[in-house]
Structure 1
Amino acid sequence: MSADRPDLAAPLPHTQDGDAAPAWAVIDSRWRVFLRVVEAGSLNKAAAALAMPQSAISRAIAHLERQCGERLFVRTGRGVVLTEFGAQLLPRVVRLAADADTLVEDIRAARGQPMGDVLIGLLPSAVPRYAGPLASTVRECMPGVRLHLVEGASAQLEEQLREGRLDMAVVLREDATSVGDERILARVPLHLIGRLGDAVLAGGEVPLIRISELPLILPARPHLLRTRLDRLAAEHGLRLHVVIEADSVHLQYEVAAAGGGYAIAAFPDGAGDARLASACIVQPQLERFVVLAESPRRPHTRASREVHRLVCALADKITAR
């Protein structure tokens, strides 16, 4: 099931002539069949996903093509692909389907509890803090809401937000100026991570100027943290000595544990690793911001607003503890 259109996976009831038709729909349900065929790349696969006969899928597409006066798909040896005309229609149909879903959900929610799908992304470090409590609270208090949880790096989640594949996500911001009107869930200091027992980390704090003397394990450009560190180094007249580039925190920690250099991370998650130690970077202290960002391409529903409120409430409890 695609994270883009989770609601399309549900089987559609059929009319007497076999065409898909929900009991009550804001848009012609044939356009939902069109979206499923685009996603599946095959009439057979779309029919299986929708629990419909292939003949009904073919009739639905043929009906749309007659209405449009243009072909929507061309057949290939492996399935179907959009025509140029179909590709032009696709983003507008996606938006129309999303708006129709929002209208239906809002009508239902207005009669009672919030209903519908909410897609939320979490950083790996946020998973143990939010995933369980959020899922259990939604299940208990909002039984009509179905959560779709996605785990990923901040850059991956940002991309999914921009593409409209998530309603919201817990992501990182490098400084206060990049936060805007997003809800700040936490402020976290950057730490220098190295092998346990390392003398550089013994005092629990490391001045920024000292970092220029150390072999560093950093993500490759254009990673936002790398860009920020490069800018800070230039501002303070420092030169960073990057010996290894590693784009995941897990990789950075493994290299640091083997004595290959020092990693810099927003969360000292390595504290649970007996091989690692950490020290807070100071003079100046460097902070990153954990924020709850929302997609500019997905409409706000009552369900998504309620889940947003729950995430913020959980953050307040975590901060209080």
Structure 2
Amino acid sequence: MHSEDLLMFLGVAENGNLSRAAVEIGLSQSALSRRISALESELNTRLFYRSGRGLTLTESGHRLIAFAQTIKHTLAEANAALLAPAHQGPSSIVLAAPPTIAKILFGSIGKSLQQRYPGIKMRFKEGLAGHIHDWIASGEIDAAIAYLPENRAFLGAVDVILRERLSFVAPTEFGALPDAFPIERLAEVPMVVPSPSHGMRTRAEAFVAQYSKSLNVAMECDSSVYITRQLVVENCGCTILPVAAVFEELQAGKLQATRLEPDVVRDVAIISGRNRPPIPAQWEVLRAIREVMTGLVEGGLWPDAELAEASPG
């Protein structure tokens, strides 16, 4: 079975008709029919049900079509990468980030890359840590700007850009906050946190476990950070977030925040996707993203963040 066989199979499947597919592919109908029959013989399974009204996929055909589409997409990407002059940069890029980072960063990255590479097709994906790690592992994205997990073995290339401090965030009804909120007190107040499968929840539970206590979970929220913020605004509990994620609510007096004691920080890094061919001019693109992140921190537009030590070039 060769890529050409899969592309012909895909052409027939998409048309549902041998004659139309033959015209599109550039073969005679009889030659295409023989090629499809040979592929079925090689795989020892029927791929199509044949009738006077055309062709429909069998169960085996439905399973094979996903692989055929992947091959078609990969070949198209390879063709575009090799034909595009390197100085023009990539024709497309797929970037991912968790909501708190996407809110700060995606607009600035979009503007910067569009100016550097006119005509670039950009796709931004927002997701929680678990989703992003899956996208990295599967090669669904070119790069992610994300918080580094404790276990980094499954990640691709990592470039740590900055460190961001986490804060205790409370509704105004909570009362005045101290200059710093002791971590052990997280066991005493109702908390709005993600479910146990998420890194933030794991870290929060580990914080209070140091003091032989358990986290007081009032609500679990796996939706966007926006929903978590609204639940805290409505006095459903408190949470742990970076200041940048609740900056507007703090400015409007809807929420209040203070640092945790001792300090809790997270590394934010650019992580290259795995199992995905590198995009053209990848080093330059990632450097451009690094420059945007650095500029936001130095300009005070990423609150409670400081630049990490420069990574080796």
What is the TM-score when the length of structure 1 is the normalising length? 0.72
Identity of aligned residues (%): 18
CA distance in 1, matches of 2:12, 2:141: 21
Q: Distance in 1 between matches of 2:203 and 2:139?
A: 27
Which of 277, 280, 283 aligns to 1:299? It is: 277
Deviation at 1:168, TM superposition (A): 1.2
1:166 matched to which residue of 2?
Answer: 141
Provide, for residues 45-70 of structure 1, a one-character-per-residue CA deviation record: whole Å limited to 9, x for no partner. x9xxxxxx566469697465245244
Secondary structure of 1:252's counterpart equals helix
Question: What are the within-5 Å matches in structure 2 for residues 148-227 of structure 1?
Answer: 148-175=123-150, 181-196=157-172, 198-199=174-175, 202-227=177-202
In the other structure, the counterpart of 1:261 is 237
Q: Cα 1:176–1:220, aligned 2, differ >3 Å: closer, same or farther?
A: closer
The structure with higher relative contact order (CA 8 Å, sep 6+) is: 2
Q: Which runs of 5+ in 1 are unaligned?
A: 1-26, 47-52
SS at match of 1:191: strand
Q: Which SS does the other structure have where 1:126 is aligned?
A: helix
Q: Deviations over 1:109-154 (max 9, x none)?
A: 4564224221112333333433233223322322353222223333
Separation in 1, partners of 2:63, 2:114: 38
- CA gap 1:251/1:155 in 2 versus in 1, 3 angstroms: same
Opposite residue 229 of structure 2, the aligned amino acid is Y
Instruction: Summarize deviations over 1:222-251 as a string: whole Å, max 9, x none.
Output: 111112222232233222111221223223
State the secondary structure of the residue aligned to 2:270.
Answer: strand
Separation in structure 1 between the aligned mates of residue 117 and residue 159 of structure 2, nearest angstrom = 22
Distance in 2 separating the partners of 1:165 and 1:185? 23
SS in 1 for 2:197: coil
Q: Which residue of 2 aligns with 1:312?
A: 290
Q: CA deviation at 1:276?
A: 0.8
1:126 and 2:97 equivalent?
no
Unaligned residue ranges in structure 2 (runs of 5+): 300-313
Measure the CA separation in 1 of the matches of 2:222 and 2:32: 44
Give the secondary structure class of the aligned counterpart of 2:88.
coil
Which AA in structure 2 matches 1:276? L
With structure 2 as the length reference, what TM-score do the two structures score?
Answer: 0.73
1:233 alignment partner AA = V
Partner of 1:3: none
Tell me what 1:65 maps to.
Answer: 36
Partner of 1:239, secondary structure, is coil
**CA distance in 2 between partners of 1:62 and 1:313 (Å):** 55
Residue 271 of structure 1 corresponds to 247
Number of corresponding residues: 282
Take 2:32 and 2:213, find their aligned partners in 1: how far apart are those partners? 62
Per-residue deviation, residues 77-96 of structure 1 (Å, max 9, x unmatched): 9x9556447736854x5665
From 233, 236, 240, give the equivalent of 2:208: 233
Structure 1 residues 36, 233: CA separation in 2 closer, same or farther (over 3 Å shift)? farther
Letter in 2 for 1:130: L
